[in-house]
Chain A
């Protein structure tokens, strides 16, 4: 590799990009002109609006039913206030506020006598959902509070008691946070989010132009034919994306810094002596290096894969959205940079930046974030380089013939495309329909979900396409030995799945309420054991197996047994709609898929699925009562290390299962 050529490519790309108005607009004009204008404009409008609201007078309906001396003083106090317009009457109704005739109503209902002194009962009606009504209420409360103080003082004076005896506790506020930290708190919440968004969006515009744009304009081939190597081209373009992203970040930091100072000044906060911590900004810039290079490599890969700019941009959308949502974590309260979060891309940076800005920098999580990102970074760069070396990707027009084939195959219900679409539709139904059914009534919801979302649509598709359901779903008799093997394997298989969940729970502590819901579902306290078994073990065992191991798995057998097993396992994991349960359920899916394809019958998987869920119910409910279980699991919790021997045993058993099924001849169909 020749670095001189890399630099030549890099310089040409930058020159080319900066002659493009789009690049200049998004990466320079927007941050240094638009952001300050928006931020400053927005904040000054806010301040104006607030003070305007403060000066506005409010209309208050006043009704005095008590008519005592004290109630007259209340009337006087309200009358004196020049930001209150009194409307006096004798027939207040709540609707008056709803119809905006007045902002609040004050009714002095009665005057009682307690311990020889007068107590005045006042009712204040207002609408909390209305800004001005709420303002009227807070103004009234202040007036009443002041008046009450005066009255109390007078009463005490009349019996010759000093009012000081009323103060028992004197609280003085002392905020020890230095101004920088206060500022850091604001900046810590919003800045990380903005920085990540800016990095992504700044790089995205450039990246789509760099490779997909060259394909579109027909210049890619010229450059590939030149004496520059692929690696040199990738590096030159990669460095360009990184540079533009960094320019975006720097300009944004710069403009945000000044906009922020301006806002603080405008809102009257003392800014002298208050400095944004420059050293923190420097630290953030250093931490940005792996993040920017990682995101740039992803963007470069997408651009290389895409056929044209438009395609590249549509591939970028999911990445941008995911990035935006993950980055938002810095704005949410209560999230700390734990080991678990330090391993999730983008989330880790969002929290790390927050920590840095709030002077809460710690070395261990910092290194963990940087280290894990660097690993991902290397993988992403490798993918980008590999893609650039794939002729099928660089000349995707050469595949046009196979693309026509793609279109033709859409009608085939076993094509991977059709199956993926089916899966997504079911997934959406599960999310929107199933979710709301289950939140209404968990038992009925689960039942309806299994039958109407999972089982019936699958059967319907097979029926409509006139597929032979029995042979497609592999509804065949299987050797009794297989059923026996499944029974033996059930326990180690469950142990493996539970161990994986426990490891994940260790890194990402699970919420107690969620655990409660799961236990409740399994619990036989409110329902009979058989009913629970039917709902949680039999029903999913049949319905989910028909969909996943019966139908979906067939779409991926073209590339071999293992790809079908793994892809259907991953889909099964996704289907549980919970990132923390993805891994254990995907592993379970792989296990069930293996049973099905190896035995060429769905029955072992149905039985294994039933046993897996059924055993979980038994352990949840009767774990302590069964002598064997309580000996193996003394504290209810299943120790994580049990997973290792369980996995070994499972693998050995699967080998035996494998052998059995090599010997068993093809059995005739059930029907």
Chain B
């Protein structure tokens, strides 16, 4: 479970003016639910996810992952979190097995159970053919599978995906989407960020729209349709953006 409360992140600029990348953002994501964080590039999605994964410190506000505070209990938060982005971030000179083992050990997975766990994941993701090949020699799709395995090796209750399908071909992207659904079915809490409306439409249980660091709207796809009386998510999103502009004026 993820609880975000009035979370803000300010990047001080040299000119003196501050950049409010995330501004008083609040939302929740429950167990067994896929929440999509939807917004255009630069809306503050990545910054939010980086704060949730404790890589960045919030300027103000709090968030809890499985009840642990991201600022004060970062270690506990990280060990309950699986993080996957479009950037595979794997060590090219190691083999797939070595990479997964490395992360397993960093996540305190018991040494004895690691080989068994790798075997399970390898069957699940169909990667036994290239488990002992160096990452350098793998295709993008294979690398993405290794990344998935790496992110879930410790069986975390919360999964965070930061634009994981960016730059992937349709087959590889499909792998990820399937994997996300499986995570939900296993009862995990899933937070997924994207700027592609279609993708949000297809996999989200609930959508959190953000714009310029602020919460724009929150709800299910059907709720949005009812409120705005529109059918296309693109239109709905633009509608919300325009509404806030009017509000500001």
Q: Which residues of chain A have a CB within 8 Å of any CB of chain B?
A: 4-5, 8-9, 12, 15-16, 19-20, 217-229, 391, 394-395, 398-399, 401-402, 405-406
Contacts and interface: CB of A to CB of B under 8 A. Distances in A.
Nearest to A228: B106
A220 B83 CA distance: 13
A104 to B, nearest CB: 64
B24 to A, nearest CB: 20
B53 interface: yes
A5 B15 contact: no
Contacts of A399: 11
A626 to B, nearest CB: 53
B81 interface: yes
A402 B106 contact: no
Given A8-B106, A401-B13, A402-B15, A224 B90 contact: no
15 contacts: A8-B102, A9-B106, A12-B102, A19-B93, A20-B93, A217-B92, A219-B90, A221-B50, A224-B53, A226-B78, A226-B103, A227-B78, A227-B107, A395-B50, A401-B13
Given A15-B94, A219-B89, A395-B56, A225 B105 contact: no
Given A222-B89, A225-B81, A8 B105 contact: yes
B75 A229 contact: yes
Contacts of B56: 391, 395
B3 interface: no
B108 A405 contact: no
Nearest to A236: B106
A293 B134 CA distance: 32
B85 interface: yes
Nearest to B15: A405
B107 A226 contact: yes
Interface in B71-126: 75, 78-79, 81, 83, 85, 87-94, 98, 102-103, 105-108
Nearest to A394: B55
B57 interface: yes
A217 B89 contact: yes
Given A402-B14, A402-B15, A405-B14, A226 B55 contact: no
A141 to B, nearest CB: 65
Contact of A5 (B11, B85, B105, B154): B105
Please classify the interface of chain A as helix (H, G, I), strand (E, B), loop, or mixed, using the class held by over half of its residues.
Answer: helix
Contact of B13 (A20, A229, A405): A405
Contact of B85 (A9, A221, A402): A221
A9 B47 CA distance: 27
A227 B94 contact: no
Contacts of A217: 89, 91-92
Nearest to B90: A219
Nearest to A7: B105
> Lowest 4 CB-CB distances: which A-B pairs, in order?
A222-B89, A227-B79, A19-B93, A225-B83
A405 B15 CA distance: 7
A15 B85 CA distance: 25
A391 B57 contact: yes
A220 B54 CA distance: 14
B19 interface: yes
A642 to B, nearest CB: 44
Interface centre among B88, B102, B106 (most CB of A within 10 A): B106
Contacts of A225: 53-55, 78, 81, 83
A5 B56 CA distance: 22
Contact of A19 (B47, B81, B85, B94): B94
Contacts of B85: 221
Contact of A227 (B11, B19, B108, B134): B108
B98 A15 contact: yes
Given A12-B102, A219-B91, A406 B14 contact: yes
Given A8-B106, A399-B11, A405-B13, A218 B87 contact: yes
A221 B92 CA distance: 15
Given A12-B91, A227-B75, 10 more contacts: A8-B106, A12-B102, A15-B98, A16-B94, A218-B89, A226-B78, A227-B154, A391-B55, A399-B11, A401-B13
Contacts of B55: 221, 224-225, 391, 394-395
Nearest to A219: B89
Contacts of B92: 217
Contacts, number: 82
A219 B106 CA distance: 14
Contacts of B134: 19
A394 B53 CA distance: 14
Given A8-B105, A227-B107, A222 B11 contact: no
Contacts of A221: 50, 55, 85, 87, 89
A223 B105 CA distance: 12
B81 to A, nearest CB: 7
Nearest to B154: A227
Contacts of B14: 402, 405-406
A398 B19 CA distance: 11
B43 to A, nearest CB: 15
A394 B54 CA distance: 13
Interface string B28-48: 000000000000000000010
Interface in B178-193: none
A309 to B, nearest CB: 14
Given A16-B94, A219-B90, A226 B15 contact: no
A240 to B, nearest CB: 14
Nearest to B99: A12
B202 to A, nearest CB: 26
Most buried by A among B47, B55, B98: B55
B103 to A, nearest CB: 6
Nearest to B107: A227
Contacts of B91: 12, 16, 217, 219
A16 B154 CA distance: 23
Contacts of B15: 402, 405
Nearest to A20: B93
A220 B78 CA distance: 15
A20 B47 CA distance: 33
B83 A222 contact: yes
Contacts of B81: 225
Interface string B113-150: 00000000000000000000010000000000000001
A394 B56 CA distance: 10
A225 B107 CA distance: 10
Contacts of B89: 217-222
Contacts of B75: 227, 229
Nearest to A18: B93
A555 to B, nearest CB: 14
B105 to A, nearest CB: 5
Contacts of A19: 93-94, 134
A112 to B, nearest CB: 85
Contacts of A220: 89
Interface in B1-30: 11, 13-15, 19
Contacts of B107: 226-227
A9 B98 CA distance: 12
Question: By CB atoms of chain A within 10 A, which of B14, B88, B134 has the most?
Answer: B14
A214 to B, nearest CB: 9
Contacts of A9: 106
Given A219-B90, A405-B15, A5 B106 contact: yes
Contacts of B19: 401
A394 B91 CA distance: 18
Contacts of A223: 106
A398 B11 CA distance: 8
Nearest to B42: A401
Nearest to B80: A227
A232 to B, nearest CB: 8
A279 B55 CA distance: 49
A54 B55 CA distance: 72
Interface string B54-65: 111100000000
Contacts of B88: 218
A408 to B, nearest CB: 9
Contacts of A228: 106
